[in-house]
Structure 1
Amino acid sequence: MSIAPFAWDVKLPARGSQRPRATLSVSSETHGTEEYRVPVAVGKRLLTIHEGDGAAPSSRAELLYLLRETSLSCGRSRVEALLGRRDYSSAELADKLRTDGYSTSAVEELVARAVSCGLVDDARFGAAFARSKVASGWGRLKIERELERRGVRPDTIVGWPEDFVTSDDERERALLLASRRRVTGKNDYEKTVRFLCGRGFSFSLSAEVAREVLKEHE
C-alpha cells in the first residue's frame, strides 16, 4: 500500500469523552503514518485551517511548525482563561495544561512566559493561600503540606510562618475547633486528637487541647 507524499487530517473526540483529545493524523513518504494527540482547542483550530482555502501547510515540516504555533496560541488563551478565574502556582498551572493535552515543551514555554510576565508568582500565590487557610482554621502543618503539594516551598514565602500564625494563634484556633465538637463519652480524647492532627495541628498541641477541652466536660 503506497503512502501519499503528504496528507493530514484532524478528528475531534466524541462528546462526553473523559479527558478528550483531538487526533492529528499525518501521512508522508519520509515518516509514514503518524498520529498526534492534541488538545481539543488545538484540534478545532487545525480543522478550521484544514477545511479552509489556501492556508493549509504543504509539507510535514510546515504542519509540525503550524502545530507548535497553534498549540502555543491556544495555550496562551487557556492560561489567560484559567488565571482569570483564580490564582495558580506554576506547578498547578503546568498540571492543568498537561491534563488538557499540551506537550511537555509547550507546557514549559507557556508556564515560563506566565512567570516572566508576572501572571504567575509562586510566592504571591503561597502567601495568599496561607492567609486564606489560616482564616479557615487550618494548622501550620497542613498548610505547609498543601503548599508543597502545589509546588510551593513554604520557606520561599516571605514572613512564613511568623507573620502568618503564632503559637498562641495556633492554640486558640485549635481550642475553638475542638470546643465545637460534640462529646459522646466514647473515645473522645482519641477522636479529638485525630481531628486536630487532621486539620494540621501538631500532635503535642492536639493532645494538650484535647485534654483541656474534655476536662471542661468532666
Structure 2
Amino acid sequence: MAKKILMLVGDFVEDYEVMVPFQALQIAGHEVDAVCPEKKTGDKVRTAIHDFEGDQTYSEKRGHDFALNATFADVKPENYDALVVPGGRAPEYIRLNERLLGIVRHFAEENKPIAALCHGAQVLAAAGVLKGRRVSAYPAVGPEVTAAGGKFVSIGFDEALTDGNMVTGPAWTAHVPWIKQFLSVLGTVIMEQEKTEDQLVL
C-alpha cells in the first residue's frame, strides 16, 4: 500500500541524498513531500555534492537546485506515514527550527518509520529521539549521537542499519541497502509488472 512520506530538507542538503530517495521512493509507489522551513511549494533549495577523494574528510562542491513540492507551514505530521531526513549541510541549521523538531518527535512517538542518512542524524539528535537507539551516521556525527543517548554503530560506508522503525546509514554510498531496508520497514513489496499498452517499446 502506498505511503505518504515527509522529507525534511534545507539549503545545501547533500545532492544524491535528496535526489535519489526522493525519486526512488516515488518509483516504489509512495508519495513524497519535500519541505524546508520558511519555504513553500515551488521554491528551491541548493544542494551540495559531498565526495570522498582521499582527504581526511569529504570534499564539498556546489550541486543542483532541488524544487520543493510542498510547503513547510502546511505540514500536519499526523497526515504522514513516514519521515526521511537526508544529510549534507542542511541538518546543522534546520535542527534549530523548533517546529521541525516537534514534527520529528511526532514520528518517533508514534513509532512511524524514520530514515536518516549521513548528517541527517543531527536532526534526530537535536529532537531528542535517539535515546537507547542503535544509529549509524557519518562518523563525525557519532559524538552527537552518543551525547543524545544513542549508541553510535560504526558500519561500512556501503551498509545501513535498522533498529526497529529507524533506518540509518553513514553516507550516500549506502543508498542501496538504506533504501531497501527503509522499504522493508514501510512494508513495501516490489513485484515485477508486465508491460502495459501505454509503455513505449523500442
Task: Give TM class, smaller chain.
Answer: under 0.3
Q: Which of the pair is proportionally richer in helix?
A: 1
Q: What TM-score do the two structures reach when normalised by structure 2? A: 0.21
